[in-house]
Amino acid sequence: MFWMGLSEGASMEENHPEAGRQVIELAEEETTAGKCLHESKMMWQIAAPAILTAATQFSIDVVTAAFVGHLGDIELAAVSVVQNIVEGFVYGVMLGMGSALETLCGQAVGAGQFNMLGIYLQRSWIITGVTALFLTPFYVFTSPLLKLLRQNSEISDLAGQYCRWVIPQLFAYALNFPIQKFLQSQSKVWFMTIVSIATLGIHALLNWVLVTKLGHGLLGAAIAGNISWWLLNLAQFAYVVSGYFPEAWTGFSLLAFKSLTGFVKLSLASAIMLCLELWYYTAVILMVGSLKNPAIAVDAISICMNLQLWTLMIALGFNAAVSVRVSNELGAGNPKAAKFSIVVTVWTSVMFGILFTAVILATKNDFPKLFTSTPLVMSETSKLGYFLAATIFLNSIQPILHGVAVGAGWQSMVALLNTGCYYIVGLPIGAVLGYVFKLGVKGIWSGMLLGSLLQTVILLIIIIRTNWSKEALQAGERVTTWGGSPELQQTQELTDYKGSPKIILPITVE
Kindly give, in sequence order, each residue whose CB lies less than 8 Å from that of residue 158, ignoring residues fewer than 6 positions away: 74, 75, 78, 218
- Among 10-24, 98-112, 275-289, which range has the highest average pLDDT? 98-112
Between 181 and 258, the higher pLDDT residue: 181
Overall pTM > 0.85: no
Assess whether pLDDT exceeds 50 at residue 159. Answer: yes
Q: What is the pLDDT of residue 255?
A: 82
- Name the pLDDT band for 500 (thresholds 50, 70, 90): very low
Distance CA(258)–CA(452), nearest Å, equals 38
Q: In degrees to the nearest 10, what's the CA dihedral of 439, 444, 449, 454? A: 100
End-to-end CA distance of the chain: 59
Query: Which DSSP string corresponds to 313-358?
Result: HHHHHHHHHHHHHHHHHHHTT-HHHHHHHHHHHHHHHHHHHHHHHH
Q: List, in order, residues 6 or more apart from 319 with CB less than 8 Å away.
A: 399, 400, 402, 403, 406
Q: What is the pLDDT of residue 335?
A: 92
- Angstrom distance (rounded) from CA 72 to CA 154: 13
Judge whether residue 115 has pLDDT over 80. Answer: yes
Q: How far is CA 364 from the centre of its chain?
A: 28
Check residue 417 and give its pLDDT.
93
Mean pLDDT calculated for residue range 112-139? 90
- How sure is the predictor about 295, in pLDDT bands with cuts at 50, 70 and 90? low
H-run or E-run covering 161: helix 153-165
158-162, 255-259, 414-418: least confidently modelled range: 255-259
Report H helices in 166-207. 167-185, 190-207
Whether residue 5 is predicted with pLDDT greater than 70 in this model: the reply is no
Euclidean distance between CA atoms 138 and 170, whole angstroms: 11
**Closest among 421, 424, 420 to 450, alpha carbons compared:** 421
Say how many C-beta atoms besides its own lie within 10 A of residue 145's C-beta: 18
% of the chain with per-residue pLDDT over 70: 87
Residue 436 DSSP one-character state: I
Give CA torsion, residues 206, 207, 211, 212, to 10 deg. Answer: -100
Mean pLDDT over the full length of the chain: 83
CB atoms within 10 A of CB 35: 17
Nearest to 411 by CA among 336, 470, 327: 327
Count of CB atoms situated within 10 Å of the CB of 306: 12
DSSP code of residue 244: S
Q: Could you read off the pLDDT of 240-253 as tens digits, one per residue? A: 999 889 988 988 98
CA–CA separation, 483 vs 343, rounded Å? 30
Residue 4 pLDDT more than 70?
no
d(CA 315, CA 6): 42
pLDDT tens, 422-462?
Answer: 999 999 999 999 999 989 889 999 999 999 999 999 999 99
As a whole number, mean pLDDT of residues 18-24 equals 45
Please check the confidence at residue 131 and state whether its pLDDT lies above 70. Answer: yes
Exposed, middle or buried, 459 (CB in 10 Å: 0-12/13-18/19+)? Answer: buried
Q: What are phi and psi of 366, to 5 degrees?
A: -115, -35
Helix-strand-coil split of the chain, %, nearest 5: 80, 5, 15
CA angle 219, 222, 227 (to 5 degrees): 125
Residue 370 banded pLDDT, cuts 50, 70, 90: confident
Residues facing 490 on adjacent strands: 507
Task: Write down the pLDDT at residue 455.
Answer: 94
* Cα–Cα distance, 318 to 311 (Å, whole number): 12
CB-count exposure of residue 45 (10 Å: 0-12, 13-18, 19+): middle
Confidence band for 74, pLDDT divided at 50, 70 and 90: confident
pLDDT for position 226: 96
Q: Read off the pLDDT band of 289 (50, 70, 90).
A: low
Residues 212, 383: Cα–Cα separation, whole Å: 38
Report for 91-100, 132-141, 152-161, 496-505: range of highest mean pLDDT: 132-141
Q: Residue 79: what pLDDT?
A: 84
pLDDT tier at 310, thresholds 50, 70, 90: confident
Per-residue pLDDT of 134-146, as tens digits, reads 999 999 999 998 8
Count the alpha carbons within 13 Å of 481 in the hemisphere toward its beta carbon.
Answer: 14
State the alpha helices, DSSP H only, in 186-252.
Answer: 190-207, 217-241
